[in-house]
Structure 1
Amino acid sequence: MDFKSELDAIRDAGLYRRLRRMESASSRVVVVEGREMLMCASNNYLGLADEPLLQETAIEAIRQFGTGSGGSRLTTGNTALHEHLERELAEFKGTEAALLFNTGYMANLAALTTLVGSGDLILSDSLNHASLIDGARLSRADVQIYEHCNLTDLEKKLAVARGLKTSESAESAESAECISDSRIRSRKGGLYDRILIVTDGVFSMDGDIAPLPGICDLAERYGADVMVDDAHATGVLGSKGAGTADHFNCQTRVAVQMGTLSKALGAEGGYIAGSRDMVEYLINRARPFIYSTAMSPAGIGAVLAALQIVKNEPVRRSHLLVRAKRLRHQLLAADFEVLPSDTPILGIVLGEADHAVQFARELEAVGVFAPAIRPPTVPAGTSRIRLTLTASHTDADMDSIVKAFQQARTNLAEGGA
């Protein structure tokens, strides 16, 4: 492959990416390549990544268990610390059990390549995270994409998968006689062993929330199961911060709850939560779990402290969501195109990739760090600035962000005149 030519083509399309060097901890204000800026693109939603309590518990975990786990969980890497965190996560998510993974990406790959396979069907939201897409591709199950958060399209695909005519009433699908051992007819006339509806809880680029109660209704009606990726909802949504299922009070209706420890919880890693039998099956069959060295003690210690903060300091969540709502209204009032969202993720659509990149540079010039988001992460023509707030941001920060956006727009307009 001619890598230089490929890179030149990426540059010409306005899609070239480079690593940016952070020279301070992930916090409200950061140092980026020698410049102090207001951080507006971090997933550190609760401001815990530099929280002293997390640092102290991480250090204590290192003192007790060392810096590395020394092996996979099934050989020498399983410690009392791992098991403690899994019990805490299961209680937090309202499930029988939970299983740790090194990253959220690996958790999704493990779940989708282990829990479904040849003879099964995955129905996946069109805007699902890349890790869900990759996991579905590797699963060997049939995969169908339904329109983003569109329950009508999801039901049509469920009906076709069951061999029903789309004109047949929903009542006919509710009949128990229509479901035989939760097996679902494929379009070719065979039977799917299992059907799994897979969705993000909070969509990472748009910030909207999946219509989970409706998805669960359809899953129950058509004999399917539901998997939710709660990476951006864990610690943020719900009466106790446990995520999307907690937000909608439908924990018992979701078979597979995935989440990360690297966003609102301020550390690293991922998990799958669900029934004890499912977790035991993953332990015995999930290759990303079996063949990976176990999470390091420091990260586990930090997450244990983060979970206590989430439980004991709900004001962090409420502060975060109030600030996000305020900033969204301010940007709309300033005539920016802001995608609908009730979460800390605000997508300000700018259009073409080059324009988004230039806009991000203008923001940096006035001290706001919020890189451009471009294809293939988002669809062509919808390149944007993706703002993500944390509980550490202040009212004054909101005003500064809006002023920075207005200044960037003015500077670009004058430059093009």
Structure 2
Amino acid sequence: MSSHSLTEGLEATLQERLGRRESQGRLRQLHAPRTDLVDFSSNDYLSFSQDKDLRKAVIEHLTNFEEQQPPSPSNRRALGSGGSRLLDGNSEFVEYLEKKISSFHGSQSALLFNSAYDANVGLISCVPGEGDVIIYDDLIHASIHDGMKLSRATRKIPFAHSSILRNASRHSVEKPEMKNPAMRVIESLGLVLKQLTEMDQHIKGGSSNVFICVEALYSMDGDIADLEYVSAIVKSMLPKGNGYIIVDEAHSVGVLGDGGRGLVCQLGLQDQIWARVIGFGKAVGCAGGAILCSSVARLYLINYARTFIYTTAMSFPSLASINVAYDFLITGKADKRRNQLKLLVDYCHKRLKNLDQSLQPTVATLRVLGGPPCSPIIPLFTSYPKSLSQYCKRSGFMVRPIVAPTVPLGQERIRICIHATNTIEQIDNLCRAIEKWLSRFITRNHIEEMERGQTNVSMSAEFRDSLLENGKAKI
């Protein structure tokens, strides 16, 4: 068989898989960002990436890197790093930056990675060993799942996300939106730990370790983990001290805590959390990530984390950007922006709740979470996320639909991200656009009748497309 025939066969297989995903309404595509739309989508919560003063400081840093204090890269490379950290990519500057970051976050040490994704994969894949157990929030980030696939841990067990949220009930729960009868009930964190200690004498006796993986701020719902509860129950259920909590703070750094130090620092839990993974691609406005940990764990990662060992180190421009952004955080220049962000978040949520209460849409059409927002992320649950997103875009606002497999079936939504440089007027106009979209939908009775085929009411093209789209998403 010729290589051309082999290629044709592979291309046909790939096309078939893509076609299947497209038929389900789940095909991902790349699109260049539109500069004519108001940003209610990106993770740039503090608008650092657009800050002119920060940009100017980075340019000065790059221009004068040989004269800069703190020390410039010892290898004097202005652009690329020259190799991995273990070869030619290390420098005095990157080690200075790691100490600066660890000091700001109240950690003994820090180790930089090219992304928070790489940090999670490297950490989870190399630390848990045979006989150890990883238990993880069932809504944990994909990077943790990829790390677990490479891990030597004997078992990986999920626990219910809702069991670790602030003000949550602590029993075994399943989200009410989860309509798939094939999905098993996921136990609460407390019950998973209880079962582990009862069934595994190595865990109970302390000779095997349990790694508990959670996020501080969850990017899809904007909710926050009750880390004080997590810490307390791990101590209680694993009194031998073999429970190690790992917190992903990618979305909370810059937003939560004094000076933007994150949730762990806000709660004063630095000594109770074994490792924190922070990201610089959200509120910090740069790229890259780091693991905050002990000096022993840092040295272990240098020796065993493959996503650290076998990759080119971060370039000096990336390091310089992180350094300048941390100067803004450390000196308090971001405090006013963070306060403004909170005011805008509260205002947007209030406007959306008022809209929800006045129009009273069906749960399938639109649902706004009731409690006060904990973060810049405000989810609007709807069975028609693509329709609502497209309508907002046509009205001049960038919001994105979030559908399966990113979120479970039945939990589709659009995700509104507020930024420090958004305005009250922009939020008002966004809410008006959502209100106009809602007004196009007819009453719940008519919707139900149309779905049963019991009405002759003419549907608008947009509404008809929305129903079809929703059906595809649930195939």
TM-score, normalization by structure 2? 0.77
1:275 aligns with 2:310: no
1:395 aligns with 2:405: no
Q: 1:405 aligns with which of 418, 427, 434?
A: 434
Contact 1:370/1:385 (CA < 8 Å) preserved in 2?
Answer: yes
1:71 aligns with 2:83: yes
**Map of 1:330 onto structure 2:** 351
The Cα of 1:338 is off from its aligned counterpart by 2.1
Matches of 2:212 and 2:221, distance apart in 1: 20
The Cα of 1:348 is off from its aligned counterpart by 0.4
Q: 2:225 aligns with which of 201, 210, 218?
A: 210
Q: Secondary structure, in 3 states, of the residue corresponding to 2:266? A: helix
Matches of 1:79 and 1:236, distance apart in 2: 30
1:348 aligns with 2:380: yes
**Map of 2:258 onto structure 1:** 239
Matches of 1:59 and 1:291, distance apart in 2: 30
Matches of 2:286 and 2:30, distance apart in 1: 21
Partner amino acid for 2:378?
A: L
Contact 1:58/1:300 (CA < 8 Å) preserved in 2?
Answer: no
Matches of 1:290 and 1:53, distance apart in 2: 35
Partner amino acid for 1:384?
A: R
Root-mean-square deviation (Å): 2.0
Matches of 2:441 and 2:32, distance apart in 1: 26
Matches of 1:62 and 1:305, distance apart in 2: 11
Report which structure shows greater RCO (CA 8 Å, sep ≥6): 1
CA shift digits 1:118-175 (9 cap, x unpaired): 211111001111111211222121110000141542111112211279xxxxxxxxxx
Partner amino acid for 2:368?
A: V
Give the number of aligned pairs.
Answer: 383
Matches of 1:407 and 1:360, distance apart in 2: 13
Identity of aligned residues (%): 31
**Map of 2:469 onto structure 1:** none
Q: How does 1:148-297 map to 2 (within 5 A)?
A: 148-151=161-164, 152=170, 153-163=188-198, 184-185=203-204, 193-221=208-236, 222=238, 223=241, 224-297=243-316
Partner amino acid for 2:392?
A: L
**Map of 1:43 onto structure 2:** 43
The Cα of 1:79 is off from its aligned counterpart by 1.5
**Map of 2:26 onto structure 1:** 15
**Map of 2:339 onto structure 1:** 318
Partner amino acid for 1:333?
A: N
The Cα of 1:200 is off from its aligned counterpart by 0.8
Matches of 1:403 and 1:101, distance apart in 2: 42
Rg (Cα) greater in structure: 2
Q: Secondary structure, in 3 states, of the residue corresponding to 1:184? A: helix
What runs of 5+ residues in structure 1 fail to find an aligned partner? 23-29, 166-179
**Map of 2:406 onto structure 1:** 377
Matches of 2:394 and 2:306, distance apart in 1: 46
Change (3 A) 1:288 1:264: same
Q: Secondary structure, in 3 states, of the residue corresponding to 1:240? A: helix
What runs of 5+ residues in structure 2 fail to find an aligned partner? 1-9, 66-76, 165-169, 171-187, 357-365, 443-458, 465-475
CA shift digits 1:363-403 (9 cap, x unpaired): 11000111111100001121110011111111112111111
TM-score, normalization by structure 1? 0.87
1:81 aligns with 2:81: no
Change (3 A) 1:404 1:196: same
Q: 1:144 aligns with which of 146, 157, 160?
A: 157
Q: Secondary structure, in 3 states, of the residue corresponding to 1:257? A: strand
**Map of 1:27 onto structure 2:** none
Change (3 A) 1:150 1:62: same
Partner amino acid for 2:19?
A: D
Larger fraction in strand? 1
Matches of 1:298 and 1:52, distance apart in 2: 16
